[in-house]
Structure 1
Amino acid sequence: MTVDGQGVPAVVVGVDGSESALGAVRWAAGEAARRSAPLRLVGVLEWSAYRPPAAAGVLPDGDRDVLLEHLRKELTGAAAQARALVPELTVTYDILIGSPKRALLQEAGTAALLVLGSRGRGGFTGLLAGSVSMALSAAAPCPVVVVRGKGVPDGPVVVGVDGSPESARALRFAVESAARLGAPVLAVRAWSHDRIDPYVLELVQWDGVEDDERRQLENSVLPARQARPDVPITTELVRGHPAQALLAAGERAQLLVVGSRGNGGVTGLLLGSISRSVLHHAHCPVAVLTEPPEPAVSDIQP
């Protein structure tokens, strides 16, 4: 379970004993405290990863016990670090057997937040280098935070916006995160002429295009400003590649927030080069807001 006795969703962290995972635990401990939520540490052991090349059979029970004990020590050590940072924090941990992707997706189903390190070992080997990381970032039913560094402690929460409903969700998450951190929000919109026919480039009134882009940016942040006037929100319009714009802004941020899909300058944010650039090259924690799952037919009211 990823909720406490009062039904408060937990902040869940994938733990494998790597320094990257421990950094994720430390960040998650602070976030759990800010949310008044419990912290849940999860280790996943996938037996198939330890089979010999010939796959001559499963591990003997004795070897399994050794691996389980090793992972248990990693979890207890991580829990001790979290409690040392936030003594009043409720911290639990558990070992799950099977696929890390499936196990963490199941955990995310009732979590407030899923937190991962940028590199891993054991069951989380290559977590950000292959299909597991992209699946978790794109498909988890809760926000996913990949801790790629400490970021700038006094920096803003940076969020990419493009006017889409998905980016609006990302902006709301950024504003709430900033409120808990006592930080401002910097909303970034990137635009370029890459998709304009070269033959009409000389006919475009670029001042007018930029003015229109700025109006769209300001319109995008207006609902958030009205909803949370206590959180300062500034905007930045960048003419250039959206990944470069977000990464540049992220260099002065303590958290970078992106949506799972978008339009305009951030189309396909998690499906192509932009997502890989942000998740692999940011110097601060990156929060990914996935699309809410489609309701089942039985859940739709007539």
Structure 2
Amino acid sequence: MRKAHIAGVDGSESALAAVRWAAVDAVLHRVPLRLICVGPDSLPDQIGAGDDTDRAGWLSTATQIATDAAPGVETISEFRRGVPHAVLVEESERARRVVVGIRGLGERTGLPVGSTAETVAMHARCPVVVVRGRAPEPAETSPIVVGVDGSRVSEAAVAEAFAEAAVRRVPLVAVHVWIDVGIEPWLPLDDDRDWASIDETERSVLAQRLAGWQEKYPDVEVRRVVERDRPVRYLQVHGEQAQLIVVGSRGRGGMTGMLLGSTSRALLHMAPCPVLIARPNPR
């Protein structure tokens, strides 16, 4: 049975943006799209969060939005009871991808990302896409951007990024930033290290990380970017012209046990386009 993509539906404009993105993505990957709307078990609704009649309307609207965005998409509408982020995390065990908007109906305005989106991004068992910033058009030709740091989680991000670039037939920008001054503030920028030699070494590291994937996807044009700076800064810069940024859930510098690394978390709040958070396949 094909694993479906899942999009959370809650009546917000943010959720509808996620549905549009998920519908196009589902058609590209030839998988069904499950639209899931979650209502409370027995507790009264939050102010502005709607009742069951509203939720039925939200699912109907979401289905129409998906069909308009991606004619031919196979949609499955589901109404569930529970807590939205808990239901989506549970369903992620059986999903190919979970897609959410940045902030749901009833969540505090003014925040760059809502609690549901962040919680799902942290705990889901499959890749998560948080749709924010500039949403790509169906025939978008702008590139995919991927952050590469050499970690196992980064390898998962590279795999996702090559697959996305191949299915969309767009270039891939591989960004490797080899010093995170946010993590290593004690390292002086004017010391006597041979920075040119280190830079050359890091370029070789990036080439090695990409080599096997370039062989698997020979038609994907790859643009390599190696910089000495903060990863978030360059991912944001290249993300301005991208349709999707792909990162691992936790990078090389992340502490063991962290569910979401500092770079991934920052991009949820600051990225100029949708962000895909990849996770390594369980061993």
TM-score normalised to the size of structure 1?
Answer: 0.82
Which of residues 89, 95, 102 in structure 2 aligns to 1:111?
A: 95
Q: Which amino acid aligns with 1:111?
A: A
Q: What are structure 2's unaligned runs of at least 5 residues?
A: none
Which of residues 71, 82, 92 in structure 2 aligns to 1:98?
A: 82
Q: Which residue of 1 aligns with 2:159?
A: 172
Structure 1 CA distance, aligned partners of 2:200 and 2:164? Answer: 29
Which of residues 270, 288, 292 in structure 1 aligns to 2:277?
A: 288
DSSP 3-state at the match of 1:256: strand
Q: What is the percentage of aligned positions where both structures have the same residue?
A: 36
Q: Which residue of 1 aligns with 2:196?
A: 207
Structure 2 CA distance, aligned partners of 1:34 and 1:247? Answer: 25
Q: Which residue of 1 aligns with 2:62?
A: 78
Structure 2 CA distance, aligned partners of 1:176 and 1:86? Answer: 20
User: RMSD of the TM alignment (CA)?
Assistant: 2.6
Which of residues 114, 126, 129 in structure 2 aligns to 1:129?
A: 114
After TM superposition, give the deviation of residue 127 of structure 1 in Å: 9.6
1:213-224 alignment to 2 at 5 Å? Answer: 213-224=202-213
8 Å Cα contact 1:159-1:256 kept in structure 2? yes
8 Å Cα contact 2:5-2:95 kept in structure 1? yes
Task: Kindly tell me the number of residue pairs found equivalent between the two proteins.
Answer: 273
Q: Which residue of 2 aligns with 1:50?
A: 45
Closer/same/farther in 2, CA of residues 51 and 151 from structure 1, 3 Å limit: closer
After TM superposition, give the deviation of residue 293 of structure 1 in Å: 4.5
Closer/same/farther in 2, CA of residues 79 and 200 from structure 1, 3 Å limit: closer
Matched, 1:30 2:14: no
DSSP 3-state at the match of 2:225: strand
Matched, 1:271 2:260: yes
Q: Which amino acid aligns with 2:220?
A: V
8 Å Cα contact 1:115-1:145 kept in structure 2? yes
Structure 2 CA distance, aligned partners of 1:247 and 1:158? Answer: 10
Closer/same/farther in 2, CA of residues 205 and 127 from structure 1, 3 Å limit: closer
Q: Which amino acid aligns with 2:249?
A: S
After TM superposition, give the deviation of residue 138 of structure 1 in Å: 2.4
Q: Which amino acid aligns with 2:43?
A: S
DSSP 3-state at the match of 1:77: helix
8 Å Cα contact 1:256-1:287 kept in structure 2? yes
Structure 1 CA distance, aligned partners of 2:250 and 2:261? Answer: 11
DSSP 3-state at the match of 1:202: coil
Closer/same/farther in 2, CA of residues 32 and 88 from structure 1, 3 Å limit: same
Deviates more, 1:144-153 or 1:92-101: 144-153
After TM superposition, give the deviation of residue 151 of structure 1 in Å: 4.3
After TM superposition, give the deviation of residue 226 of structure 1 in Å: 1.4
Closer/same/farther in 2, CA of residues 23 and 197 from structure 1, 3 Å limit: closer
After TM superposition, give the deviation of residue 270 of structure 1 in Å: 6.2
Matched, 1:89 2:81: no
Which of residues 163, 176, 183 in structure 1 aligns to 2:170?
A: 183
DSSP 3-state at the match of 2:28: helix
Query: Residue deviations 1:118-161, cap 9 Å, x none?
Result: 1211489979333x433311221111001113148321110000
8 Å Cα contact 1:100-1:123 kept in structure 2? no
After TM superposition, give the deviation of residue 87 of structure 1 in Å: 3.0
Which of residues 225, 239, 246 in structure 1 aligns to 2:235?
A: 246
Structure 1 CA distance, aligned partners of 2:144 and 2:187? Answer: 36
Q: Which amino acid aligns with 1:206?
A: W
Which of residues 135, 138, 155 in structure 2 aligns to 1:150?
A: 135
8 Å Cα contact 1:151-1:283 kept in structure 2? no
Closer/same/farther in 2, CA of residues 105 and 169 from structure 1, 3 Å limit: same
After TM superposition, give the deviation of residue 43 of structure 1 in Å: 0.6
Structure 2 CA distance, aligned partners of 1:199 and 1:256? Answer: 30
